[in-house]
Amino acid sequence: MLICCKLSGMTLQIEPSLFPFFKPQGVAIIGVSQNPTKLGFGLARNLLQSGYSGAIHFVNPNGGVLFERPVYPGIVHVPDPVDLAVVLVPAPQVPGVLAECGERGILSVIIASGGFRETGPAGAALEDACLHVAGHYGMRLIGPNCIGLLDTHLPLDTTFLPPPGPPPGDVAFISHSGAICAAVIDWARGQGFGLSRLVSLGNQLDVRETDVLVSVAADPHTRVITLYLEGVSDGRRFVRAATAVAREKPVLALKVGRFASGQRAVASHTGALAGSESAFGAAFRRAGVVRAETSEELFDWARTLAWCPLPKGPNVAILTNAGGPAVTAADALESHGLKLAELQPQTIARLAEFLPAAAAVNNPVDMLAGASPQEFNRALRLLLDDEQVDSVIVIFPPPPLYTAGGVARAIIPTIYAARKPVLAAVLGERMIQEAVEYFRAARVVEYRFPERAAAALAVLWQRAQYLAAIPEKPQRPVNVHPSTAQATLLRVRGLAPGFLPSEVVNELLAAYGIPTPPIALAQTAVAAAELADGMGYPVALKVASADIPHKSDVGGVRLNLFNGAQVQQAFVAIMTQMETAVPQARIEGIYVQRMIPQGQEVIIGAVQDPQFGPLVMFGSGGVEVEGLKDVDFCLAPLARAEAEEMLARTWAGRKLKGFRNIPAADREAVIEAILRLGQLAADFPQLQEIEINPLRVLEQGQGAFAVDARARVG
Amino acid sequence: MLICCKLSGMTLQIEPSLFPFFKPQGVAIIGVSQNPTKLGFGLARNLLQSGYSGAIHFVNPNGGVLFERPVYPGIVHVPDPVDLAVVLVPAPQVPGVLAECGERGILSVIIASGGFRETGPAGAALEDACLHVAGHYGMRLIGPNCIGLLDTHLPLDTTFLPPPGPPPGDVAFISHSGAICAAVIDWARGQGFGLSRLVSLGNQLDVRETDVLVSVAADPHTRVITLYLEGVSDGRRFVRAATAVAREKPVLALKVGRFASGQRAVASHTGALAGSESAFGAAFRRAGVVRAETSEELFDWARTLAWCPLPKGPNVAILTNAGGPAVTAADALESHGLKLAELQPQTIARLAEFLPAAAAVNNPVDMLAGASPQEFNRALRLLLDDEQVDSVIVIFPPPPLYTAGGVARAIIPTIYAARKPVLAAVLGERMIQEAVEYFRAARVVEYRFPERAAAALAVLWQRAQYLAAIPEKPQRPVNVHPSTAQATLLRVRGLAPGFLPSEVVNELLAAYGIPTPPIALAQTAVAAAELADGMGYPVALKVASADIPHKSDVGGVRLNLFNGAQVQQAFVAIMTQMETAVPQARIEGIYVQRMIPQGQEVIIGAVQDPQFGPLVMFGSGGVEVEGLKDVDFCLAPLARAEAEEMLARTWAGRKLKGFRNIPAADREAVIEAILRLGQLAADFPQLQEIEINPLRVLEQGQGAFAVDARARVG
């Protein structure tokens, strides 16, 4: 049996071995308890109360009866059908129980027990033992140290969470944190949305976030997938899977542990800036995963994505009985990149026909405090009929003369019939409960604060744009010569790990078609002058030493040398300076390099991220990179459109089109250099860091040159 | 009778004419209605139900009886005592009603009616008429087009909002938006805090936000003041008053209409960046007003500031039964500038004594899902006893084995007795209602999401730091010569408004002690070379023309001229270029200027903000100012500490201490230049814009020079 999930042209294979987790024929709970204060009691209760229609079996060595069902003393005694076991026994007993499951033919097991890796080396050893048993039987494991999973539509509940479980719905939640699951269910209930599936992954001994993401994406009841991630196990695999899923269903992620990553030892600007957060940002962007910054955003946005049609454009109409909150909403819309729609004249005229003279009939449409439910509805219909309007936010505090519920009742049929998204911001809490309940029953998204409605609408528009964009795959740049680069790297393989000599770096860049200024190594002042004569002036001198990463910091660079005499003088000056400044450094000589004309300067770098692999950085270069932080990241290799986006997201990139008296520069050459450096980093993972700083960008058509570059091999 | 409110050393005079608004002897409602669907009915009902203990009078020309009280046909018939009237009659009748109030001796009137300025010119004329009547009688007006005000402690309710009113509490709300008031009351109820006073200001014909801010600050029941501002009427007066108030009671403001301000015509970088938002930011910072970005933040933070003691430091302990949300909270804390406390060894040891082996006893302290209410309390006490801990956030989703209410009950006495702030994040919604109610009753702040608790705690720490800082007043810099600057400006008074000639700008800077490079105007190439010989080389040439604001944009600048021949050649070249590039510009000659050695370059500018007056900008200079947006604003004149903060908030400022191979520069000279330019802008409001770009900052002790500067008079 091989069932596939066809998503966005790609065919994602759902591992058949995972089926019993999501559609078991029979479930055995191993470690049930008759004591209502024990989790083993909760497991049994939840599974029974969930309405699960397959076979339910309880196991405990003590036997007995629970909920009028027999408790079997061992898994071997459990009758057919049974293909999923939930294990809640002390950790040391788990490997043995797994073996019994294997013997009984149960090949899908949720280990709810804690006491494993999270407790130290002894627990980690127990995990190894579990994995060993599982490997022997071809068994799949979720957990350990997890809450289990539930499916509100099957239905199935293998958790021990206190009831009530979540209402059935269309939002799936996949979590590295088990502890948050109870809160998520309660938030869902409180905020009026249901869950389709909830999966707690625990220590991820076997089944991981990507496996579950693909399985859950195939669930027809799930419209939106939310992820609570502490990391990902295999970054590239996650990105591949999430990319396929996100084109079909919105995927929202909250990545936690941002500041916990600590500092790594790095030697380049790119390395210093390319923390795990930049990599996650780039990975989510590549995959089309929407990143929430807070738990609240995660679920605010999930509801909107699940229930609203997508807007065709960024133009929003605001309909309200309250001017102040409408201004707040307009502020929030603009800060999120949406616009206030310019209403058509006939819309304005028709609004003016029935609204009081003091009402504002331009967007935001403020009908004033006395607006009736019928007026709300009439105005909403006019706004929805306006071609200039792509979406509507209806904002109302408790109206002084009518009830909020009355307004909700009046406009729900219109919202329901609309092909444009309509979001409600019902301001208040207790006086507007009736309106909230009407809206929820009709699956109209509603928020208590106007800013949250605006933020959610922005995510909806982002989703629409994402789906409208034609996905572009990274293309291998032409005229890149991996075999040449390979040969270069082989040549220096004998060197200790660390910085590569400049000429080696330039060879690598040349092999990938990134232009560098002519450069040669001189051992004496006279030789330097001769080399310079051959290249043409002006030239620069730079000390050659693998021990000096930041050459200009120690006075190892001299620029603008216009003749042989200056070159000889500078050579001696640098050598003298090095003896004082870095006496321990091994000096290989001094590079002579033709200087490239003035131009805009940018930085392009690449690092190997431990989770997501090659990662390219682009931005404002020079020595102030970390100070200005005008940089952007993208997974490598990258598509041309992604390189364009990096330019659009940075001042360094926007400036390439010219600004004031800064002339336009050769953007094309920059994009080429980004794509080529990305390909180089992707082709050679041993290049731990490679950075061009500056890439000097000449006028249009004149190209861009890697004036200085360095690289480190791992 | 003159009652003063002594705040932070300053004595703010509360206008005695405002007393009747906040403590009336008797209130007349003019325009009551017997029809329960009319606002005039609501006014009468609310005043009666509020429990107001003074005299209550109803007026309507039709007379009759309402709530078993007589309705007087006119204000003249109303018996004593009566010193406050609330008017809700059609707008055209209001001036007449005001005159009747004046005759009756009522000198405080709330005009609740709409139909004034907000409806157009006719309405604006009615406002003028009202003001005229009020002037005649010395009458004070709140409104028109407002909701009125309420005081839950007096008590008094002059609004027509649908009941129930807000519970009594310690948060005051002052609003330019009347429409949001009903929502605020309902939010307060829903979020479990009470209001002390609520004032809706309407069109602010007479009484404005600053008047009410001062009056409300004097209210002993008010602990925190929240403002919903659409603008301020007199920026400097607001700042003065808010500064005095904020040292006594926290003031929180939501400023709406950020994007509505539109674009003004400006000619300098400073002018382009100094929008109304920068001015509000600077004004709030000067005054110590905490700025909220959303309505939700406004009340989240108000509760915390009202109920929590201030932390002594930034070190936070997190106590939880759920690892995931604790990580989320830690992320949020760090992003807000707080730190995870490093627990003392004895705290860790004592926690380990009773927590399970798998629990995390380092901060965040994760007691695991099974933690009992008693364990929560025991751990909380240990954390509060730890000297390294300045505050605690307790985070718990519904616990699987206990109730959230049980946890709340167990820890409330400890929180109550603590001198350190303890905030609760009770995750969920319906299952944790009991806990929420316990917390609210005990005035323990609680949030549904960990990130919101972290943000609120950050505001609390910000408040503690604000109060700990010794307020510093702007000092007039020494050796500034306003009379010299005055004479310079008088000399050019005849010139049309616009850019001042360079030498005039330099004279102004010189008069305020800001060094400029020697400069002189030449009419011929030969004269230019002679002037350069006198100054010493290298020199720069710059075209002199009031018609060319950005000289380098049109090729009007030549740098690095090392001898007379180069100067003569450049002179001719510039003149030729100007004929082509800007044929319509009037050229007054060419400036010869001694060039200043290389150094760091920053921008310092000042503009006159229409609301807040002189505003200074500091940041990264050059031509990319608007692109990099590395700038900060402060009201002028400014204190030294404020100039230091501008440096700290910008990369341009931080870089002055040196970065990598950029040597440290003369920070002192920059601070001096900021203070002096601020004083200049403050002394001469006719200087609409003045900007030094770049201010070149030499090495420490070598000073900073205004290499290029321009100024515009209004």
Domain ranges in chain B are 7-301, 308-468, 482-594, 600-713
pLDDT score for A628 = 86
pLDDT score for B6 = 47
Average pLDDT taken over every residue of chain A:
92
Q: What is the pLDDT of residues A376-387, one digit of tens each?
A: 999 999 999 999
Architecture of domain B600-713: 2-Layer Sandwich (3.30)
Torsion of CA A675, A678, A682, A684, to 10 degrees: 110
**Does pLDDT of B425 surpass 60?**
yes
Of the residues A33, A229, A259, the best mutation for testing chain B's interface (the one with the most B CB atoms within 10 Å of its CB) is: A259
Of residues B273 and B346, more confidence is placed in B346
Question: A10 CB contacts (<8 Å, ≥6 apart)?
Answer: A244
Token reading at B628: 């990099």
**Does pLDDT of B4 surpass 80?**
no
* Smallest Cα distance from A435 to chain B, Å: 14
Torsion of CA A75, A81, A83, A84, to 10 degrees: -70
pLDDT score for A3 = 42
Q: What is the pLDDT of residues B632-669, one digit of tens each?
A: 999 999 999 999 999 999 999 999 999 888 899 999 99
pLDDT score for A62 = 94
Of the residues A116, A176, A295, the best mutation for testing chain B's interface (the one with the most B CB atoms within 10 Å of its CB) is: A295
| ipTM confidence | 0.85
How many Cα atoms within 13 Å fall on the side-chain side of residue B107? 12
Q: What is the mean pLDDT of residues A79-89?
A: 97
Q: What is the pLDDT of residues B608-625, one digit of tens each?
A: 998 999 999 999 988 888
SS3 of residue B600 by DSSP = strand
Residues of A in contact with B552 (CB under 8 A): 661
Residues of B in contact with A654 (CB under 8 A): 627
List of long-range contacts for A445-450, beta carbons under 8 Å, 24+ apart: A445/A303, A445/A304, A445/A307, A445/A308, A446/A192, A447/A300, A447/A423, A448/B187, A448/B190, A448/B296, A449/A425, A449/B294, A449/B295, A449/B296, A450/A325, A450/A326, A450/A328, A450/A329, A450/A332, A450/A393, A450/A395, A450/A425, A450/B295
Residues of A in contact with B263 (CB under 8 A): none
Residues A296-306 as b/e (b if ≥16 CB within 10 A, e otherwise) read: bbbbbbbbbbb
Query: In angstroms, rounded to a whole number, what is the distance separating the alpha carbons of residues B83 and B81?
Result: 7
Q: What is the mean pLDDT of residues B466-483?
A: 93
Residues of A in contact with B209 (CB under 8 A): none
Q: Which residue of A has its CA nearest to B623?
A: A660
Q: What is the mean pLDDT of residues B6-20?
A: 69
Q: What is the mean pLDDT of residues A55-71?
A: 96
Q: Give alpha helix (H) positions in B427-521.
A: 433-441, 450-468, 482-491, 502-511
pLDDT score for B401 = 84
CB atoms near residue A504 (< 10 Å): 18
> Of B294, B334, B427, which has the smallest distance from its Cβ to A259's Cβ?
B334
pLDDT score for B258 = 66
Q: What is the mean pLDDT of residues A350-374?
A: 92
CB-based contact B190 A430, cutoff 8 Å: yes
**Does pLDDT of B481 surpass 90?**
yes
Residues of B in contact with A428 (CB under 8 A): 182-183, 185-187, 190
CB-based contact B331 A258, cutoff 8 Å: yes
Of residues A679 and B659, more confidence is placed in A679
How far is residue B183 CA from its own chain's centroid? Answer: 23
Burial, B700: exposed, middle or buried (Cβ in 10 Å; 0-12, 13-18, 19+)?
Answer: middle
pLDDT score for B654 = 96
Query: In angstroms, rounded to a whole number, what is the distance separating the alpha carbons of residues B425 and B710?
Result: 54
pLDDT score for B221 = 96
CB atoms near residue A356 (< 10 Å): 14
CA angle A664, A666, A672 (to 5 degrees): 150
* Smallest Cα distance from A511 to chain B, Å: 32
Of residues B55 and B470, more confidence is placed in B55
Query: In angstroms, rounded to a whole number, what is the distance separating the alpha carbons of residues A351 and A362?
Result: 9
CA distances from A471 to A7, A243, A632, B299 (A): 14, 10, 20, 43
B482-594: what fold?
Dna Ligase; domain 1 (3.30.1490)
pLDDT band, residue B471 (cuts 50/70/90): confident
Q: What is the mean pLDDT of residues A487-491?
A: 92
Spatial contact of B188 and B299, defined as CB atoms under 8 Å apart: yes
End-to-end CA distance of chain B: 44
Answer yes or no: CATH 3.40.50.261 is held by domain B308-468: yes
CB-based contact A451 B296, cutoff 8 Å: yes
* Smallest Cα distance from B667 to chain A, Å: 17
**Does pLDDT of B598 surpass 90?**
no
Average pLDDT taken over every residue of chain B:
92
**Does pLDDT of B2 surpass 60?**
no
pLDDT score for B604 = 97
Q: What is the DSSP letter of A193?
A: -
> Of A115, A160, A180, which has the smallest distance from its Cβ to B325's Cβ?
A180
pLDDT band, residue B12 (cuts 50/70/90): low
Strands B108-111 and B84-87: parallel
Q: Which residue of A has its CA nearest to B200?
A: A324
Residues of A in contact with B331 (CB under 8 A): 256-260
Q: What share of chain A is helix, strand, coil (3-state, %, to 5)?
A: 40, 25, 35
Q: What is the mean pLDDT of residues B406-435?
A: 95
CATH superfamily of A14-222: NAD(P)-binding Rossmann-like Domain (3.40.50.720)
Among A545-559, B58-72, B128-142, name the one with the lowest average pLDDT: A545-559
Q: What is the pLDDT of residues A536-587, one digit of tens each?
A: 889 999 999 888 887 888 889 998 899 999 999 999 999 999 998 889 989 9
Query: In angstroms, rounded to a whole number, what is the distance separating the alpha carbons of residues A595 and B57?
Result: 89
Among A474-478, A621-625, B239-243, name the one with the lowest average pLDDT: A621-625
pTM, two decimals, is 0.89
pLDDT band, residue A215 (cuts 50/70/90): very high
Is A498-594 in the same CATH topology as A14-222? no
One-letter amino acid for residue A65 of the chain? V
Three-class secondary structure assignment of B512-533? CCCCCCCEEEECCHHHHHHHHH
Residues of B in contact with A327 (CB under 8 A): 177, 230, 256-257, 260
The CATH number given to B7-301 is: 3.40.50.261
Q: What share of chain B is helix, strand, coil (3-state, %, to 5)?
A: 40, 25, 35
* Smallest Cα distance from A190 to chain B, Å: 5
CB-based contact B295 A450, cutoff 8 Å: yes
> Of A294, A432, A662, which has the smallest distance from its Cβ to B623's Cβ?
A662
Q: What is the pLDDT of residues B239-280, one digit of tens each?
A: 999 999 999 999 999 998 765 433 344 566 777 777 778 899
Residues of A in contact with B227 (CB under 8 A): none
Residues of A in contact with B294 (CB under 8 A): 328, 332, 449, 451-452
Sign of the dihedral through C-alpha A235, A240, A246, A248:
negative
pLDDT score for A546 = 84
CB-based contact A190 B430, cutoff 8 Å: yes
Sign of the dihedral through C-alpha A100, A105, A107, A109:
negative
Spatial contact of A635 and A613, defined as CB atoms under 8 Å apart: yes
Q: What is the pLDDT of residues A178-198, one digit of tens each?
A: 889 999 999 999 999 999 999
Three-class secondary structure assignment of A501-520? CHHHHHHHHHHCCCCCCCEE
* Smallest Cα distance from A195 to chain B, Å: 15
CB-based contact A296 B257, cutoff 8 Å: no
Of residues A6 and A478, more confidence is placed in A478
**Does pLDDT of A352 surpass 70?**
yes
Size of interface A-B (CB pairs under 8 A): 259
**Does pLDDT of A714 surpass 70?**
yes
Answer yes or no: CATH 3.30.1490.20 is held by domain A498-594: yes
Spatial contact of A8 and A247, defined as CB atoms under 8 Å apart: yes
pLDDT score for B42 = 94
pLDDT band, residue A533 (cuts 50/70/90): very high
Residues of A in contact with B267 (CB under 8 A): none
Residues B81-94 as b/e (b if ≥16 CB within 10 A, e otherwise) read: ebbbbbbbbebeeb
Answer yes or no: CATH 3.40.50.261 is held by domain A309-468: yes
